[in-house]
Amino acid sequence: MSIWINGQPATQLDASDRGLSYGDGLFRTLRLLDGAPLAWRWHWARLQHDCAALRLPCPEAELLLAELAAVSAEWPDAVAKLTLTRGVGPRGYAPPAAPQPTRIVQAGPRVAPPAERYSQGVAVYACALRLGLQPALAGVKHLNRLENVLARAEWQGDEYAEGLLCDSEGWVIEGVMSNLWIRRGRELLTPQLDRCGVSGAARAWVFDTAPKLGYQVREWRLRPADVLAADEAMLCNSLIGFWPIARYQQRRWSVFTASEALNRAWLGPETDTI
Protein backbone atom coordinates (compact mmCIF):
# COMPACT_ATOMS: atom_id res chain seq x y z
CA MET A 1 0.00 0.00 0.00
CA SER A 2 1.26 3.46 -0.93
CA ILE A 3 -0.23 6.60 0.66
CA TRP A 4 0.21 10.26 -0.13
CA ILE A 5 -1.29 13.10 1.92
CA ASN A 6 -1.39 16.54 0.33
CA GLY A 7 1.09 15.55 -2.34
CA GLN A 8 3.69 13.87 -0.11
CA PRO A 9 4.26 10.28 1.03
CA ALA A 10 2.79 10.09 4.53
CA THR A 11 0.83 7.86 6.87
CA GLN A 12 -0.24 10.22 9.67
CA LEU A 13 -3.29 12.50 9.76
CA ASP A 14 -3.99 15.40 12.12
CA ALA A 15 -6.41 14.21 14.81
CA SER A 16 -8.45 17.41 14.44
CA ASP A 17 -9.14 16.81 10.74
CA ARG A 18 -12.86 17.26 10.09
CA GLY A 19 -12.95 14.10 8.01
CA LEU A 20 -12.07 12.19 11.17
CA SER A 21 -14.26 14.22 13.52
CA TYR A 22 -17.43 14.56 11.44
CA GLY A 23 -17.03 12.54 8.26
CA ASP A 24 -16.80 15.94 6.58
CA GLY A 25 -15.55 14.90 3.18
CA LEU A 26 -15.94 12.50 0.29
CA PHE A 27 -14.09 9.76 -1.54
CA ARG A 28 -13.81 7.91 -4.84
CA THR A 29 -12.53 4.39 -5.44
CA LEU A 30 -10.85 3.77 -8.77
CA ARG A 31 -9.17 1.04 -10.78
CA LEU A 32 -5.90 2.07 -12.42
CA LEU A 33 -4.29 0.35 -15.39
CA ASP A 34 -0.61 1.30 -15.72
CA GLY A 35 -1.27 4.38 -13.62
CA ALA A 36 -4.27 5.62 -15.62
CA PRO A 37 -7.70 5.54 -13.95
CA LEU A 38 -10.36 3.53 -15.75
CA ALA A 39 -13.44 5.62 -16.61
CA TRP A 40 -11.75 8.79 -15.39
CA ARG A 41 -14.18 11.06 -17.25
CA TRP A 42 -17.08 9.72 -15.18
CA HIS A 43 -15.12 9.74 -11.91
CA TRP A 44 -14.10 13.34 -12.51
CA ALA A 45 -17.69 14.40 -13.20
CA ARG A 46 -18.90 12.72 -10.02
CA LEU A 47 -16.06 14.23 -7.98
CA GLN A 48 -16.92 17.73 -9.19
CA HIS A 49 -20.60 17.14 -8.41
CA ASP A 50 -19.89 15.83 -4.92
CA CYS A 51 -17.47 18.64 -4.07
CA ALA A 52 -20.10 21.17 -5.11
CA ALA A 53 -22.75 19.41 -3.01
CA LEU A 54 -20.52 19.59 0.09
CA ARG A 55 -19.14 23.06 -0.79
CA LEU A 56 -15.62 21.70 -0.89
CA PRO A 57 -12.92 23.13 -3.18
CA CYS A 58 -12.24 20.58 -5.91
CA PRO A 59 -8.59 19.90 -6.78
CA GLU A 60 -7.43 20.26 -10.38
CA ALA A 61 -7.77 17.13 -12.49
CA GLU A 62 -4.12 17.29 -13.59
CA LEU A 63 -2.95 17.27 -9.97
CA LEU A 64 -5.09 14.25 -9.10
CA LEU A 65 -4.02 12.32 -12.20
CA ALA A 66 -0.35 12.93 -11.43
CA GLU A 67 -0.74 11.78 -7.83
CA LEU A 68 -2.76 8.71 -8.82
CA ALA A 69 -0.07 7.71 -11.30
CA ALA A 70 2.70 8.23 -8.75
CA VAL A 71 1.03 6.39 -5.90
CA SER A 72 0.18 3.35 -8.08
CA ALA A 73 3.48 3.14 -9.97
CA GLU A 74 4.40 -0.26 -8.46
CA TRP A 75 1.33 -2.05 -9.79
CA PRO A 76 0.13 -2.35 -13.42
CA ASP A 77 -3.38 -3.16 -12.17
CA ALA A 78 -4.11 -1.17 -9.02
CA VAL A 79 -6.94 -0.06 -6.76
CA ALA A 80 -6.80 3.55 -5.61
CA LYS A 81 -8.83 5.54 -3.12
CA LEU A 82 -9.03 9.31 -3.34
CA THR A 83 -10.29 11.04 -0.18
CA LEU A 84 -10.97 14.75 0.27
CA THR A 85 -11.84 16.27 3.64
CA ARG A 86 -12.52 19.84 4.70
CA GLY A 87 -9.22 19.71 6.53
CA VAL A 88 -8.23 20.75 10.04
CA GLY A 89 -10.59 23.07 11.89
CA PRO A 90 -11.65 24.21 15.36
CA ARG A 91 -14.14 22.30 17.48
CA GLY A 92 -17.77 22.54 16.45
CA TYR A 93 -19.80 21.78 13.36
CA ALA A 94 -19.45 25.21 11.74
CA PRO A 95 -17.23 24.79 8.66
CA PRO A 96 -14.18 27.05 8.35
CA ALA A 97 -14.76 30.12 6.20
CA ALA A 98 -11.61 29.35 4.20
CA PRO A 99 -11.02 25.59 4.45
CA GLN A 100 -7.68 24.01 3.66
CA PRO A 101 -8.78 20.58 2.38
CA THR A 102 -6.87 17.43 3.14
CA ARG A 103 -6.19 15.28 0.07
CA ILE A 104 -5.37 11.60 0.60
CA VAL A 105 -4.43 9.37 -2.33
CA GLN A 106 -3.66 5.72 -1.65
CA ALA A 107 -3.19 2.66 -3.85
CA GLY A 108 -2.39 -1.02 -3.74
CA PRO A 109 -2.50 -4.06 -6.02
CA ARG A 110 -5.91 -5.07 -7.33
CA VAL A 111 -7.11 -8.57 -6.44
CA ALA A 112 -9.40 -9.77 -9.21
CA PRO A 113 -12.81 -11.14 -8.12
CA PRO A 114 -13.40 -14.86 -8.74
CA ALA A 115 -14.12 -15.50 -12.43
CA GLU A 116 -17.32 -17.40 -11.62
CA ARG A 117 -18.92 -14.22 -10.31
CA TYR A 118 -19.02 -13.07 -13.92
CA SER A 119 -19.80 -16.37 -15.64
CA GLN A 120 -22.23 -17.85 -13.09
CA GLY A 121 -23.50 -14.75 -11.28
CA VAL A 122 -23.67 -13.96 -7.57
CA ALA A 123 -26.08 -14.52 -4.70
CA VAL A 124 -27.36 -11.29 -3.15
CA TYR A 125 -28.50 -10.84 0.45
CA ALA A 126 -31.70 -8.93 1.25
CA CYS A 127 -30.51 -6.46 3.90
CA ALA A 128 -32.80 -5.61 6.82
CA LEU A 129 -31.25 -2.18 7.35
CA ARG A 130 -33.13 0.68 5.70
CA LEU A 131 -31.42 3.75 4.28
CA GLY A 132 -32.50 7.11 5.68
CA LEU A 133 -33.79 9.81 3.34
CA GLN A 134 -31.66 12.93 2.89
CA PRO A 135 -32.04 14.61 -0.52
CA ALA A 136 -29.24 17.11 0.20
CA LEU A 137 -26.73 14.24 0.24
CA ALA A 138 -28.41 11.94 -2.29
CA GLY A 139 -25.93 10.53 -4.78
CA VAL A 140 -22.90 11.89 -2.91
CA LYS A 141 -20.12 9.47 -1.94
CA HIS A 142 -19.48 11.20 1.38
CA LEU A 143 -17.47 9.80 4.27
CA ASN A 144 -20.51 8.97 6.43
CA ARG A 145 -20.89 5.29 5.54
CA LEU A 146 -22.22 3.80 8.79
CA GLU A 147 -25.36 2.53 7.06
CA ASN A 148 -23.18 0.51 4.70
CA VAL A 149 -21.03 -0.78 7.56
CA LEU A 150 -24.06 -1.97 9.54
CA ALA A 151 -25.66 -3.50 6.46
CA ARG A 152 -22.50 -5.40 5.57
CA ALA A 153 -22.37 -6.80 9.12
CA GLU A 154 -25.70 -8.58 8.51
CA TRP A 155 -24.09 -11.56 6.79
CA GLN A 156 -20.85 -13.49 7.07
CA GLY A 157 -19.12 -16.05 4.92
CA ASP A 158 -18.97 -16.52 1.17
CA GLU A 159 -22.58 -17.43 0.35
CA TYR A 160 -23.45 -13.85 -0.59
CA ALA A 161 -21.20 -11.59 -2.63
CA GLU A 162 -23.27 -8.46 -1.98
CA GLY A 163 -26.37 -7.16 -0.21
CA LEU A 164 -29.27 -5.14 -1.58
CA LEU A 165 -30.52 -2.09 0.33
CA CYS A 166 -33.95 -0.46 0.42
CA ASP A 167 -34.80 2.95 1.83
CA SER A 168 -37.10 3.63 4.79
CA GLU A 169 -40.12 3.56 2.45
CA GLY A 170 -39.25 0.18 0.96
CA TRP A 171 -37.87 1.32 -2.41
CA VAL A 172 -34.81 -0.53 -3.68
CA ILE A 173 -31.83 1.84 -3.80
CA GLU A 174 -28.48 0.10 -4.27
CA GLY A 175 -26.07 -2.59 -3.20
CA VAL A 176 -23.95 -2.17 -0.10
CA MET A 177 -20.94 -1.42 -2.33
CA SER A 178 -22.52 -1.20 -5.76
CA ASN A 179 -25.29 0.19 -7.93
CA LEU A 180 -28.15 -1.96 -9.20
CA TRP A 181 -29.50 -2.43 -12.72
CA ILE A 182 -32.36 -4.61 -13.91
CA ARG A 183 -33.27 -5.52 -17.47
CA ARG A 184 -36.75 -5.70 -18.97
CA GLY A 185 -36.37 -6.77 -22.57
CA ARG A 186 -34.07 -4.16 -24.14
CA GLU A 187 -34.58 -1.65 -21.34
CA LEU A 188 -32.18 -1.16 -18.42
CA LEU A 189 -33.58 0.39 -15.24
CA THR A 190 -31.68 1.66 -12.20
CA PRO A 191 -33.14 3.05 -8.96
CA GLN A 192 -33.64 6.79 -8.67
CA LEU A 193 -31.11 8.31 -6.27
CA ASP A 194 -32.79 11.62 -5.54
CA ARG A 195 -33.35 10.96 -1.82
CA CYS A 196 -30.48 8.68 -0.76
CA GLY A 197 -27.86 6.33 -2.14
CA VAL A 198 -24.53 6.75 -3.93
CA SER A 199 -24.30 7.52 -7.63
CA GLY A 200 -21.21 5.68 -8.83
CA ALA A 201 -19.01 6.30 -11.85
CA ALA A 202 -19.85 2.92 -13.39
CA ARG A 203 -23.56 3.73 -13.07
CA ALA A 204 -23.00 7.02 -14.90
CA TRP A 205 -20.99 5.19 -17.56
CA VAL A 206 -23.95 2.91 -18.31
CA PHE A 207 -26.15 5.90 -19.17
CA ASP A 208 -23.63 6.92 -21.84
CA THR A 209 -22.65 3.47 -23.10
CA ALA A 210 -25.69 1.15 -22.96
CA PRO A 211 -27.63 3.03 -25.70
CA LYS A 212 -24.70 2.30 -28.06
CA LEU A 213 -25.23 -1.39 -27.26
CA GLY A 214 -28.92 -1.24 -28.16
CA TYR A 215 -30.44 -0.70 -24.72
CA GLN A 216 -32.77 2.02 -23.53
CA VAL A 217 -31.72 3.36 -20.13
CA ARG A 218 -33.65 5.19 -17.43
CA GLU A 219 -33.99 5.75 -13.71
CA TRP A 220 -37.07 4.33 -12.04
CA ARG A 221 -38.52 3.75 -8.60
CA LEU A 222 -38.18 0.03 -7.98
CA ARG A 223 -39.66 -2.28 -5.38
CA PRO A 224 -38.10 -5.64 -4.51
CA ALA A 225 -40.93 -7.21 -6.53
CA ASP A 226 -39.67 -5.35 -9.61
CA VAL A 227 -36.24 -6.88 -9.15
CA LEU A 228 -37.75 -10.33 -8.76
CA ALA A 229 -39.77 -9.89 -11.95
CA ALA A 230 -36.81 -8.68 -14.04
CA ASP A 231 -35.42 -10.60 -17.00
CA GLU A 232 -31.95 -9.94 -15.64
CA ALA A 233 -30.36 -8.09 -12.72
CA MET A 234 -26.81 -6.94 -12.13
CA LEU A 235 -24.57 -4.95 -9.80
CA CYS A 236 -21.81 -2.58 -10.82
CA ASN A 237 -18.97 -0.49 -9.49
CA SER A 238 -15.64 0.73 -10.79
CA LEU A 239 -13.64 -2.14 -9.32
CA ILE A 240 -15.81 -5.14 -10.18
CA GLY A 241 -17.35 -4.01 -13.45
CA PHE A 242 -20.69 -5.82 -13.72
CA TRP A 243 -21.74 -8.84 -11.68
CA PRO A 244 -24.87 -10.61 -12.87
CA ILE A 245 -27.22 -11.61 -10.07
CA ALA A 246 -27.95 -15.34 -10.05
CA ARG A 247 -30.01 -15.44 -6.84
CA TYR A 248 -31.98 -12.89 -4.84
CA GLN A 249 -34.58 -14.06 -2.31
CA GLN A 250 -36.55 -16.83 -4.05
CA ARG A 251 -35.64 -15.78 -7.60
CA ARG A 252 -32.99 -17.43 -9.78
CA TRP A 253 -31.48 -16.07 -13.01
CA SER A 254 -29.29 -17.76 -15.60
CA VAL A 255 -29.45 -15.31 -18.54
CA PHE A 256 -26.76 -12.64 -18.29
CA THR A 257 -26.77 -11.03 -21.74
CA ALA A 258 -26.70 -7.38 -20.63
CA SER A 259 -24.01 -7.86 -17.99
CA GLU A 260 -21.85 -9.74 -20.49
CA ALA A 261 -22.20 -6.96 -23.05
CA LEU A 262 -21.46 -4.27 -20.48
CA ASN A 263 -18.41 -6.11 -19.14
CA ARG A 264 -16.99 -6.39 -22.66
CA ALA A 265 -17.52 -2.67 -23.22
CA TRP A 266 -16.21 -1.73 -19.76
CA LEU A 267 -12.69 -2.85 -20.63
CA GLY A 268 -13.02 -1.81 -24.27
CA PRO A 269 -12.52 1.44 -26.18
CA GLU A 270 -15.76 2.93 -24.80
CA THR A 271 -14.08 3.31 -21.41
CA ASP A 272 -11.05 5.46 -22.11
CA THR A 273 -8.58 5.61 -19.25
CA ILE A 274 -8.14 9.39 -19.48
Instruction: Catalogue the active-site residues.
Output: 29, 141, 174
103: closest CA among 1, 37, 25? 25
Separation of alpha carbons 160 and 140, rounded Å: 26
Separation of alpha carbons 206 and 238, rounded Å: 11
Separation of alpha carbons 64 and 212, rounded Å: 30
Phi-psi region of 218 (alpha: psi -120 to 50; beta: other; left: phi over 0): beta
> What is the SS3 assignment for 261?
helix
Which residues are 33's β-sheet partners? 36, 77
